[in-house]
Amino acid sequence: MRKFTNLQTDLLRTFVTVVDLRNYTDTGRLLGRTQPAVSLQIKRLEEVTGVRLISRMGKRIELTPDGQTLLGYAREILRLNDRAVANLQQSSYSGTLRIGLPVDYSIGYFQSIIAAFSRENPAVLLDVCCDRSPALLSALHTDALDLTIAVADSMPAPHVAVYWSERPVWACARDFKIDPATPLKLVAHPDGCFYRKRMIDALDAEGRDWHVSFESQGISALQRAVVDGMGVSALTRKTLQPGMRLLTASDGFPKLSKVYVGLFYKHVRMSEAALKLIEKITADVSHYRLPTRTRA
């Protein structure tokens, strides 16, 4: 007969909080336990799972590969636990949610999810910030945001709950003429954008000259510039617009590396209203793009 191992939610909550705060003392203070009690709970969880989850180097706390694997599952278990309790107790949803949306990735899609949530929960005040992904992740790290959708260069990444990958494609105006004798005109987000980096890395690898002819923070401005024939850009298929055409290897354009898109939050900071919105985003994303459960 199969032997079942049960993961206690209090142990998982301590584990996730330690990872989010990177500090045993702060975790104890937040959860109402002493620092030694937190250490014992982490040790108990490691005994139950049979693997080492956290390594400590002085004051630094790092996840082991097994810890990275468990973290995504732990976040999901806690989210379901807390949502179940809230629903059984018929909790009302109120307060303010600070949400980040990336200007460089399908902002309209996620904006519609959040707008629907707002209509269904009028007592919840929303503060939505649209910015570049690195700025959004920095704001989450400093607790200026409660949750954010963001594009990342690689996965797993800190505080990610679910993520999926997208492969950008080369796009230009339908009648755009490419002259191989001149530098390729690029339409791009400012330096630091993952799409921009993938274009430049691919062109540099082939020794091809390029020039950024149009630069903007917002996706709509880039889309307009491409349609107007200002140059070539890297977009996801869902951000392609009428009047554009794809450029492939047959046109002399190499395949671009994938980018990763994720839902990021710190579970320890989540209100019941935030958990409800996270549940809605997670459910809707499963129809939009098959998400990958995180390992970090």
pLDDT value of residue 249: 93
pLDDT value of residue 2: 65
Which residue type is seen at 135? A
* SS3 labels along 108-120: HHHHHHHHHHHHH
Number of Cβ atoms within 10 Å of the Cβ of 4: 5
64 vs 55: CA distance, rounded Å: 6
Q: Which CATH number fits domain 9-86: 3.50.50.60, 3.20.20.70, 1.10.10.10, 3.30.420.40?
A: 1.10.10.10
Which residue type is seen at 170? W
Q: Is the distance from CB of 63 to CB of 71 less than 8 angstroms? A: yes
pLDDT value of residue 1: 66
pLDDT value of residue 217: 87
51 vs 275: CA distance, rounded Å: 29
Q: Is the distance from CB of 25 to CB of 37 less than 8 angstroms? A: no
Domain positions in the chain are: 9-86, 94-164+259-293, 169-251
**At 239, is the secondary structure helix, strand, or coil?**
helix
Walk along the chain (296 residues) and give the pLDDT tens digit of each residue. 667 889 999 999 999 999 888 889 888 988 889 999 999 999 999 999 999 999 887 778 889 999 988 998 898 898 888 878 877 766 667 788 999 999 878 788 889 999 999 998 888 999 999 999 999 999 998 989 999 999 998 887 888 888 889 899 999 999 999 998 999 999 999 998 999 999 999 999 999 999 999 999 888 899 999 999 999 999 998 889 999 999 999 999 999 999 999 999 887 767 888 888 888 888 887 766 655 544 44
Return phi, psi of residue 227, to 5°: -60, -35
Class (C level, CATH) for 94-164+259-293:
alpha beta
**Third-level CATH fold of 169-251:** D-Maltodextrin-Binding Protein; domain 2 (3.40.190)
Note whether 94-164+259-293 and 169-251 share their fold. yes
Encoded tokens for 163? 């993520």
